[in-house]
Amino acid sequence: MLISRKAAISLISWTPVNGVVMFARFHGHHTEVTVVVCYAPTNGAEELVKERFYDTRNSVSKHIQRHDMVKFHGDFDTKAGNGISYCPEVLGPCGIGDRNENGALLIDFASINVHLTCGTEFRHKNIHKYTWTSPDGKTRNQIDHFLINDDQLSKA
């Protein structure tokens, strides 16, 4: 894991769960911060591979201290869309793309764990929201997401 010198000083612990999920705990200004980094299988991956990933990601939540600020970062390979018509308590109005199966799974996870998908909350030009571009440059999507527990949002 590569982190800055300042982050290394604040590091309490880090746990590599497997090759695609790890989490680290840091001393923060107001509270401890747990950062979970994930690399999800693609939407077209085999169901067993996806189930293993989501089970692992969900199990990480059990190891997080109750009062920590929690941040999930990663390539979730999800198109979540926006919260105008679906799940506005989790998704902001500014997401892009049509929701796919992985997007629905991310939204379910965020709803159950009271997280907010921050990349969909703020108004930016779409060019600044894209996190993936196809090799031919014609297709763009927002597939990487940042989730934070909503009771800690004001401290982020």
Q: What phi, psi does 104 have (nearest 5°)?
A: -65, -40
Q: Establish if 27 belongs to a structural domain.
A: yes
pLDDT value, residue 151: 67
**85 vs 32 pLDDT, higher one:** 32
Q: Has residue 1 been placed in a domain? A: no
Between 108 and 156, where is the model more confident? 108
Q: Is residue 2 part of a domain?
A: no
**Which residue range forms the structural domain that includes residue 97?**
9-155
CATH number at residue 137: 3.60.10.10
3 in any annotated domain = no
Number of independent structural domains in the chain: 1
- Is 4 part of any domain? no
What pTM value is reported for the model?
A: 0.79
Q: Is residue 17 part of a domain?
A: yes
pLDDT at 120: 65
